[in-house]
Amino acid sequence: MKPLISIVIPTYNRARDLERALRSVLVQTYPYWEALVVDNHSSDNTRDAVENFNDARIRLLSIHNNGVIAASRNLGIRCAQGQYIAFLDSDDWWSPEKVDESLKYLEQGADVVYHDLFLVTKPDQRFFWRKAYTRDLVSPVFNDLIANGNGLTNSSVVVRKELLNAIGGLLEDRRLISAEDYVAWLKISKLTEKFRRIPKTLGYYWAGGGNVSNPDRTLISLGAIEERYASSFVDSKVWLCYAKGRAYYRSGRYEMAKKSLEPISWKQSSLLMYVNSYRILLSICLRHYLKSIF
């Protein structure tokens, strides 16, 4: 049967992680899928890892993406036969019912579905308490995304292929590496309001190192987003200030972090954002104090 859903998995030198991701796809309770592994010419045994599964539903594509993962995802989208596109990073993996649950919401009329993922920080982790949280988006979805930032985790999203085609795929802009998915949701939100959060945790997000995002890259992406949507950020830049502050703090630029986070008030932000901002500012003050006495 022609697959109803196409799973796009970009990868580069992550053969062992990719095997885990593919195993999670193979045990899905819904069987009519195809997995498109888009390999950026890995130098490890990625090809062997894919071919060893010996499953016709798994296809291996090759690309030189020059460090722009959006190019890999776009190749997968172009080659996809399914009506729906699911994104899965090669170091993440899914629960067995993920595809089934997603299709239930899509066939009820949703255009974009997503859900929480468990956070994984150790290779041998057995218990999962923390999550990469998503949120319900309030209409108009575009305004919600602008005011509050990205509320979707990429490896949880399933979207109608026709919508990705309508926006011309993901932007292959080097400045937006690690944020191209957010821009895609902003563009899609101009076409549909039918974003649906599945109230279940249906997968696992690897946060133990080796991820694409880093503080410096995040700051470049945030600058590009602010520039692209300058007119839309007129009313509120709270989440943008918060995201910049966190990135500056992680990169060790404490004065810049303080400058970004100090304007955030509890009236303008969510409780979690305000508390986290306060904790970072408190940490910066403590660093200054300790530095002054030693």
The 10s digit of each residue's pLDDT in 23-38 is 999 999 999 999 999 9
For residue 170, give the nearest of 241, 85, 60 by alpha carbon: 85
CA 70 to CA 95: how far, in whole Å?
25
User: What's residue 234's pLDDT?
Assistant: 67
User: What's residue 211's pLDDT?
Assistant: 64
Residue 236 has pLDDT above 80, yes or no: no
Considering the segment(s) 5-206 as one domain, its CATH architecture is: Alpha-Beta Complex (3.90)
> 159 and 188 in contact (C-beta within 8 Å)?
yes
User: What's residue 264's pLDDT?
Assistant: 84
Domain ranges of the chain: 5-206, 237-293
Beta bridge partners of 36: 8, 59
Exposure string (b/e) for 214-251, b if CB count within 10 Å is 16 or more? ebebbbbbbebbeebbeebbeeebbbbbbbbbbbbbee
For residue 47, give the nearest of 7, 5, 14, 78 by alpha carbon: 14
Q: In the chain, what are the helix, strand and coil shares in percent, each to the nearest 5?
A: 45, 15, 40
- Cα 188–191–197 angle (5° rounding)? 55
Residue 266 has pLDDT above 90, yes or no: no
Strand ranges, E, within 40-90: 58-62, 84-87
Q: Highest mean pLDDT range out of 193-197, 213-217, 243-247, 274-278?
A: 193-197
Residue 263 has pLDDT above 80, yes or no: yes
Query: What digits encode the pLDDT tens for the residues 115-159?
Result: 999 999 888 888 888 999 999 999 999 999 998 899 999 999 999
Query: What digits encode the pLDDT tens for the residues 65-99?
Result: 999 999 999 999 999 999 999 999 999 999 999 99
CA 117 to CA 208: how far, in whole Å?
14
For residue 144, give the nearest of 195, 206, 214 by alpha carbon: 195
Residue 228 has pLDDT above 70, yes or no: yes
Mean pLDDT (whole number) for 227-243:
85
End-to-end CA distance of the chain: 70
CA distances from 208 to 12, 49, 121, 134 (A): 17, 22, 4, 19
User: What's residue 235's pLDDT?
Assistant: 65
**Residue whose entry in the numeric block shows the structure tokens 């959006």:** 70
DSSP structure class, residue 107: H
CA 162 to CA 160: how far, in whole Å?
5
H or E segment at 159? Answer: strand 158-160
197: phi then psi, degrees, rounded to nearest 5: -90, 125
